[in-house]
Structure 1
Amino acid sequence: MLQQVTATRYVTPLREGGSLPGIVEADDLGTYVVKFRGAGQGSAALVSEIVVGELGRRLGVRVPDLVLISLDAEIGKREPDQEVQELLLASVGVNLGMDFLPGSIGYDGIHWQPPAEEAARIFWLDALTGNVDRTWANPNMLIWHRKLWAIDHGAALVFQHSWPAVSAWAARRYDLSKHVLGGLVAGIGHGPLKALDAELADAITPELIDEVLALVPDEFLLRLNSAPEDAEAASLRERYADYLLARRASDRAWWPESAA
Structure 2
Amino acid sequence: MFFHIKELQFKAKPERPDPAYARKLQEVLGGQFGEMSVMMQYLFQGFNCRADRKYRDMLLDIGTEEIGHVEMLCTMIAQLLDGAPADQLEEAAKDPLIGAALGGMNPQHVIVSGLGATPTDSNGFPWNSRYIVSSGNLLADFRANLNAESQGLLQVVRLYEQTTDPGVREMLSFMIARDIMHQNQWLAAIEEIEQLDGPIAPASFPRELTVEEASRQFLNFSEGEESSMGRWASGPLYDGTGNFEYVAKPQAMGQQPELAPPAPHQHSTPGTPPYLVNKGKSL
TM-score interval (norm. to shorter): under 0.3
Which structure has greater strand proportion?
1
Which structure has greater helix proportion?
2
- Flag the structure with more relative contact order, 1 or 2, with Cα contacts below 8 A and sequence separation at least 6: 1
Scaled by the length of structure 1, what TM-score is found?
Answer: 0.22
Scaled by the length of structure 2, what TM-score is found?
Answer: 0.20
Q: Which has the larger radius of gyration?
A: 2
